[in-house]
Chain A
């Protein structure tokens, strides 16, 4: 069974069809890449899967359940987490606090369904324990990314590469089963990209499935187990990196057709 899939998902903005009947799938424990030229509808598809946008038609399934049209915060509780193309950190909060926010809903209300009223009082008296719990959790993640020594800096003061890492750390703080990365390597130099590739592999090895949008072909071809290609809102190919590299439709989408 696929961990996440969309069934003929369409998103139209008035007359513009940004995503047209795409049936995307991501498997458990794999890194799935989503590539395509600019304006192909990658981010729109991402937003529709993560609840920031509602599809015009079609369905999204996560672990076999229909999650079409769910709110973003609800999906986050089900185990989906994401980063953004243009970094969206809580810039006036410290690095540590940014990550602690990711653990927000899990603290003090373990199954976050029952005993809400009771939990109000529990939280009031157990504030110290809760904070401790979130602190430990957040520090572990910062250590995973090797930025624990920056924990007291304001997020906006971090260098760009660290901001990208922090955003991933924050996304991981909600203990997701699937992590969406929207252009994680944008604006990074080759060394930083290599480092990022290793990090993404390490994330997968902890058991988190990854879906990523990326333009850097070196990164995509090296770490993805599966790649889906979009062009003009249509899915034109799906397969392993090797298959995608040799797919004539993909080559045409990126390089254009030979005029003979």
Chain B
């Protein structure tokens, strides 16, 4: 059971990368995109193909997966990001499905529905990170999460993060304030996609095989649920949301009741939780955190005046 808990934590880490990317797109910039699974798949296959066919090391494929996902993010972003809300969701949903269908049918490159097996394990200075020995792998995944968390957090607090929030609140006004909205939206999309690409690479070396069937639309929806559940626009909250969703998905197995509780049960539970959240806490468990620039300074100045 302890091992099983570690598995949940590993998946939480991998999905956290995706949901933080989704948070940048949806929570910060307000773009309802539903194709994280597509970028996830691109990242996975880049690592799988390069390591099995061309003998790349896993570490070298990480930046390549991120870049490939980002390039596709820009390509899909440029034509679709002028759409808003549900229209954007439908267009990106289409992209996710296209990726999966291409992987399914491009036999010579991706191995078709069979996918790619026998992916080499990660080596780190002669030390093999074996996914069956979970602790080492867990540490590696969470180092990635930490690095991405710091990057995203800094991005969110920076000028660019503020510009993205401005675009979310009012795009026309943001444009009139001198923000190149198209550029920022495409970049936010590309960065979110790159994070999903890295998550894909990690997923590949964890499961040591890739098949198109694991990158369905359901993955994109789950990632969106994680963001909504945790709290849009708050990266720490999103990681918590990811953990809760993963915990629920594996709950029957975790308590050893998988023979009693059918697998479909978790989908009922997801639906129930989302409905309850929307009614009682629409801002998410932790909710949006606004940074409130200069808050402490204002307080200090007020205290000075009183003294």
A residues bordering B, Cβ < 8 Å? 50-52, 71-73, 76-77, 81-82, 84, 88-94, 96-97, 100-102, 104-105, 107-108, 123, 127, 130-131, 134-135, 139, 151-152, 154, 170-171, 173-174
User: Given A92-B169, A93-B169, are A131 and B177 also a contact pair (CB < 8 Å)?
Assistant: no
On chain A, the residues within 8 Å of B172 by CB distance are 52, 72, 84, 88
10 nearest A-B pairs in the assembled complex, by CB-CB distance: A76-B178, A90-B169, A88-B173, A105-B178, A72-B175, A88-B170, A101-B166, A73-B180, A90-B166, A72-B176
Between A and B, 28 residue pairs with Cβ closer than 8 Å are A51-B176, A72-B175, A73-B177, A76-B176, A88-B172, A90-B165, A90-B166, A90-B173, A91-B169, A91-B170, A93-B169, A93-B290, A96-B294, A100-B162, A101-B174, A101-B177, A104-B159, A107-B159, A127-B158, A127-B159, A130-B159, A131-B159, A131-B293, A134-B159, A135-B293, A135-B294, A152-B298, A170-B177
**In the bound complex, what is the Cα–Cα distance between A80 and B176 (angstroms)?**
9
**In the bound complex, what is the Cα–Cα distance between A166 and B293 (angstroms)?**
17
Establish whether residues B176 and A82, one from each chain, have CB atoms under 8 Å apart when the complex forms.
yes
Nearest chain A CB to B93's CB is how many angstroms away? 26
Nearest chain A CB to B51's CB is how many angstroms away? 31
**In the bound complex, what is the Cα–Cα distance between A131 and B175 (angstroms)?**
21
Nearest chain A CB to B183's CB is how many angstroms away? 9
Establish whether residues A104 and B165, one from each chain, have CB atoms under 8 Å apart when the complex forms.
no
On chain A, the residues within 8 Å of B168 by CB distance are 92
Residues of chain B in range 143-175 having any CB-CB distance to chain A below 8 Å: 154, 158-159, 162-163, 165-166, 168-170, 172-175
**In the bound complex, what is the Cα–Cα distance between A134 and B161 (angstroms)?**
14
> Does B257 sit at the interface, judged by CB under 8 A?
no
Nearest A residue to B176, CB-CB = A72
Q: Count chain B residues whose beta carbon lies closer than 8 angstroms to a beta carbon of A.
A: 28
Residue with the highest number of chain B CB atoms closer than 10 Å, among A88, A127, A174: A88
Q: Mark B55-68, 1 if CB is under 8 A from A, else 0.
A: 00000000000000
Establish whether residues B175 and A92, one from each chain, have CB atoms under 8 Å apart when the complex forms.
no
Nearest chain B CB to A180's CB is how many angstroms away? 9
**In the bound complex, what is the Cα–Cα distance between A157 and B304 (angstroms)?**
26
Residue with the highest number of chain A CB atoms closer than 10 Å, among B154, B159, B163: B159
On chain A, the residues within 8 Å of B260 by CB distance are none
Establish whether residues B290 and A151, one from each chain, have CB atoms under 8 Å apart when the complex forms.
no
User: Given A101-B162, A101-B163, A108-B159, are A92 and B290 also a contact pair (CB < 8 Å)?
Assistant: yes
Nearest chain A CB to B29's CB is how many angstroms away? 13
On chain B, the residues within 8 Å of A154 by CB distance are 290
> Does B181 sit at the interface, judged by CB under 8 A?
yes
> Does B295 sit at the interface, judged by CB under 8 A?
yes
> Does B179 sit at the interface, judged by CB under 8 A?
yes
User: Given A93-B162, A123-B158, A130-B159, are A104 and B293 also a contact pair (CB < 8 Å)?
Assistant: no
Nearest chain B CB to A3's CB is how many angstroms away? 18
On chain B, the residues within 8 Å of A94 by CB distance are 290, 292-293
Nearest B residue to A112, CB-CB = B178
> Does B209 sit at the interface, judged by CB under 8 A?
no
On chain B, the residues within 8 Å of A152 by CB distance are 292, 294-295, 298
On chain A, the residues within 8 Å of B290 by CB distance are 92-94, 97, 154
Contact of A104 (CB < 8 Å), options: B163, B170, B294: B163
Establish whether residues A89 and B162, one from each chain, have CB atoms under 8 Å apart when the complex forms.
no
Contact of A89 (CB < 8 Å), options: B158, B173, B294: B173
Nearest chain B CB to A123's CB is how many angstroms away? 7
User: Given A90-B170, A93-B290, A151-B298, are A52 and B176 also a contact pair (CB < 8 Å)?
Assistant: yes
User: Given A76-B178, A152-B298, are A89 and B170 also a contact pair (CB < 8 Å)?
Assistant: yes
**In the bound complex, what is the Cα–Cα distance between A76 and B166 (angstroms)?**
15
Contact of B177 (CB < 8 Å), options: A52, A71, A104: A104
User: Given A84-B173, A104-B162, A107-B159, are A97 and B293 also a contact pair (CB < 8 Å)?
Assistant: yes
Establish whether residues A77 and B178, one from each chain, have CB atoms under 8 Å apart when the complex forms.
yes
Establish whether residues A174 and B166, one from each chain, have CB atoms under 8 Å apart when the complex forms.
no
